[in-house]
Structure 1
Amino acid sequence: MQQTPILLYDIDGTLLNVHREFILGIIERELSRYNIEKPDANTRSFAGRTDRGIFMELIGDVPNAQELLNTLMDKYAEAMARHLTREFIQLHNGAFESVEEAVSLDIPVGLCTGNVRAVAMEKVKTAGFPDTFKFGGFGEVSEDRNELPGEADREYKSLFSDRPEPGRYVIIGDTPNDIRCAKHFGAKSVAVTTGGFSEKELATHKPDLVISSLHNPKGWLKELGFKNFS
């Protein structure tokens, strides 16, 4: 009998978007507290990157960069918890339905996101998702997104007696980096066009499947070879 898949959702561009102006405002305020000049963040793309890598780039070459990085990530999470409200969030097509249907099918649901854990949880909570995401790989771990699926796997195994092979994981994201990290770990990859990349651009990176919305997870799981969800 085929084993149950384990879904790892990206957040930004996949489940939802937080308004860019809101995010940049918080980042700029936190940088200014430490007299760090904003290095033109408006022109940079943060898609598919980890918070650790983003903040390291924004900090630049300064004394005690590692200590400052950890402080800034903590302060950023605190500011998000204080100021993020539903009005700053845009949910993507099929996001709620996808997660709800997966849960109804007893499919384990986690996160694989460049956000630090506290910010990730604040975003999904504020967006209105139920307390569903119990494990994941998060952006404080590494500047390299390829490290995140392994972290999600370790967290999953720490919570459950199940010992899945990498091929049972399905990483769902909207950027080439989501596809790359899935391939690096040996997971299946579902690329969704709700972010800034087109179907053609995503297909270039050879995901297992490209979809236009998160609706009907039973359908795309069947296409991935999980026949018990047909």
Structure 2
Amino acid sequence: MHSPVLILFDIDGTLTTGGPARAAFQLALEETYGTAGPIATHDFSGKTDPRITRELLTAAGRRPRDIEAGLPRFWTRYLCELEARIDGHPVTVLPGVHELIAALAAREDVHLGLVTGNVAGGARLKLLSARLWHHFPVGGFGSDHEVRNELPRVALDRASVHWGRAFRGSDAVIVGDTPRDVACGKAVGATTVAVATGRFTRTQLLDTEADRVLPDLADTTAAIEALTAPTPLNSPPHDT
């Protein structure tokens, strides 16, 4: 019997879209630092929340030591604002996601987890809103490390403890909608599956040399095949 595969999902643009996170982020920045920087035009895609925070405040001219000093208050305010707003402005679950996650969770040869730039508290609130949180017992989060490429290792370590067996990068599949998702998977030798449900097109995602590229997760059968089929060494990217 083959060892279970560990499938690690991104959240924003992969499982869900929308919700009040950006508004909560902006308000918390303004309350803590007096500015949200160029948040209206800033590219959040594939970045960790701590990196986004640092980029916005640096662009606004805040000094590194002042940024650091305000972070505890900022994260508390952000999570409070997100929790207060999310019931009235819930996230939208992308097509096919509920069906896919339920089907994967029912399989004995699959374990589920997260690799997301969200801080852990933000990930929890978003996925509670989406009715998905209970499917993901482990993860690597933006609150674990500012550098996204470090997060798969965190998730692998937590999975090893949770399921009582060692997980290596080659035992994992990283699923996301940005080139940074693909890059973090490649950093640990994981299989990478990119989905064109965010701001990047299938062509752009093929350029990342992801092992597989899907248009979306709406076709449960096709998605399961892409996520669980073995990937030969040095195989070319596959557009599914």
Same fold (TM over 0.5): yes
Equivalent residue of 1:108, what SS? strand
1:192-214: CA deviations, max 9, x gaps? 01111111000001001001122
Q: Out of 20, 23, 40, which is 1:42 matched to?
A: 40
Tell whether 2:4 aligns with 1:8.
Answer: no
For structure 1, the 5+ residue unaligned runs are: none
Distance 1:151 1:115 in 2: 14
Q: Out of 168, 188, 207, which is 1:204 matched to?
A: 207
Select between 58-67 and 153-162 the one with higher mean Cα deviation. 58-67
Q: Out of 80, 84, 95, which is 1:78 matched to?
A: 80
The one-letter code matched in structure 2 to 1:13 is G
Q: Out of 36, 39, 59, which is 2:57 matched to?
A: 59
Q: How far apart are 1:87 and its partner, in Å?
A: 3.9
Distance 2:103 2:200 in 1: 25
Select between 170-179 and 85-94 the one with higher mean Cα deviation. 85-94
Residues 153 and 47 from structure 1, CA distance in 2 versus in 1: closer, same or farther, beyond 3 angstroms?
A: same
The one-letter code matched in structure 2 to 1:103 is A
Preserved contact between residue 24 and residue 42 of structure 1 (Cα < 8 Å): no
The aligned counterpart of 1:220 is 226
Q: How far apart are 1:169 and its partner, in Å?
A: 0.4
The one-letter code matched in structure 1 to 2:145 is S
Distance 1:117 1:26 in 2: 15
Select between 82-91 and 114-123 the one with higher mean Cα deviation. 82-91
For structure 2, the 5+ residue unaligned runs are: 233-240
Equivalent residue of 1:52, what SS? helix
Distance 2:42 2:113 in 1: 28
The aligned counterpart of 1:96 is 98
TM-score by length of 1: 0.90
Paired positions, count: 224
Preserved contact between residue 149 and residue 182 of structure 1 (Cα < 8 Å): yes
Select between 207-216 and 26-35 the one with higher mean Cα deviation. 26-35
1:156-213: CA deviations, max 9, x gaps? 1121211122111000000000000000011110000111111100000100100112
